[in-house]
């Protein structure tokens, strides 16, 4: 039986890389097998053809030229970017100035609206500043409200109370309209009360704010507080 010889073995035979024993075995196979001889001839022809082809060497000048072109392109891109920045510097400066101006306007408007909102939130305290100070603290208000029928304890006839309670609209928009409708003297009184409030320490300001929220809350409990405050004001 004729053994099959792989192409790798035939190529090694052509290159003279086989050992003597293996080479002898291949030669024996070649003598007995005509198709194997044809395969060897085809491989020999292909091998000789490959040997005749010229070996292409890389052109170093091509690599150098490519590197130079890339460097020149990067340099031109950098110069173009700088030229554009220089050419449009006035436009960029103008845009930056306008943007800064707009930010300043928006910041001032926001600060104004914030201050106005804080002032409107304090209007109930400012409008009843003296009266709330007489109430001393939320604990004192609770004690006053716990006195049954406080208004009936007020002696009659009684004069107008020294400190009258001013009811302020709950919504900020309504408060804005309410403040605008005040007389100049009443507006001055609010400003004076605002200065007096700011001169107090933080704890006292928080106490007055809590008293205001208790008295003017739109609940049955708030109504009880207001009745107690009215009775207490007549006793002062």
Same structural domain, 231 and 114: yes
Same structural domain, 115 and 98: no
Q: Could you tell me if 235 and 154 are in contact, meaning their C-beta atoms sit under 8 angstroms apart?
A: yes
Question: Quick one: pLDDT at residue 50?
Answer: 53
Question: Quick one: pLDDT at residue 61?
Answer: 59
Tens of pLDDT along 130-187? Answer: 888 888 788 888 888 787 766 555 555 445 555 677 888 888 888 888 888 888 888 8
In a domain, 113, yes or no: yes
Same structural domain, 123 and 83: no
In a domain, 2, yes or no: no
Same structural domain, 143 and 86: no
Break the chain down into helix, strand, coil percent, rounded to 5.
Answer: 75, 0, 25
In a domain, 18, yes or no: yes
Same structural domain, 205 and 129: yes
Cα angle, residue 46 at apex, residues 45 and 50 outer, rounded to 5° = 120
**Whole-prediction pTM:** 0.47
Question: Quick one: pLDDT at residue 71?
Answer: 58
In a domain, 57, yes or no: no
Q: Where are the strands (E) in 13-67, listed by range?
A: none
Count of domains observed in the chain: 3
Same structural domain, 136 and 213: yes
Domain that holds residue 138: 108-235
Same structural domain, 115 and 160: yes
Q: Name the DSSP class of 216.
A: T
In a domain, 16, yes or no: yes
In a domain, 59, yes or no: no
Same structural domain, 121 and 102: no
Same structural domain, 99 and 117: no
Question: Quick one: pLDDT at residue 54?
Answer: 47
Same structural domain, 70 and 171: no
In a domain, 214, yes or no: yes
Same structural domain, 215 and 179: yes
What b/e string do you get for 40-62 counting C-beta neighbours within 10 Å, with b at 16 or more? beeeeeeeeeeeeeeeeeeeeee
In a domain, 60, yes or no: no
Question: Quick one: pLDDT at residue 1?
Answer: 45
Same structural domain, 116 and 229: yes
Q: Taking the chain (236 residues) in consecutive chunks of 10 residues, what is each chunk's mean pLDDT?
A: 70 82 84 83 67 48 57 57 64 74 68 67 84 83 77 54 72 84 86 85 88 85 82 73
């Amino acid at each position: 039986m004729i053994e099959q010889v792989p192409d790798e073995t035939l190529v090694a035979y052509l290159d003279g890389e086989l050992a003597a024993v293996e080479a002898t075995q291949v030669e024996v196979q070649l003598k007995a097998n005509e198709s194997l001889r044809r395969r060897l001839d085809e491989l020999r022809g292909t091998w000789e053809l490959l040997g005749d082809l010229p070996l292409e060497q890389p052109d170093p000048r091509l690599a150098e030229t490519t590197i130079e072109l890339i460097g020149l392109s990067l340099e031109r891109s950098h110069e173009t970017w700088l030229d554009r920045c220089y050419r449009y510097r006035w436009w960029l400066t103008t845009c930056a100035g306008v943007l800064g101006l707009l930010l300043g306007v928006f910041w001032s408007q926001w600060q104004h609206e914030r201050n106005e909102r804080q002032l409107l939130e304090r209007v109930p305290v400012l409008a009843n500043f003296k009266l709330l100070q007489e109430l001393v603290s939320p604990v004192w208000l609770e004690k006053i409200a716990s006195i049954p029928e406080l208004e009936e304890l007020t002696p009659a006839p009684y004069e107008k109370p020294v400190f009258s309670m001013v009811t302020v609209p709950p919504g900020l928009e309504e408060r804005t309209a309410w403040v605008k409708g005040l007389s100049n003297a009443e507006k001055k009184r609010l400003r004076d009360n605002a200065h007096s409030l700011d001169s107090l320490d933080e704890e006292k300001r928080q106490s007055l704010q809590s008293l205001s929220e208790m008295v003017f809350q739109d609940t049955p409990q708030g109504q009880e507080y207001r009745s107690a405050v009215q009775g207490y004001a007549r006793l002062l």
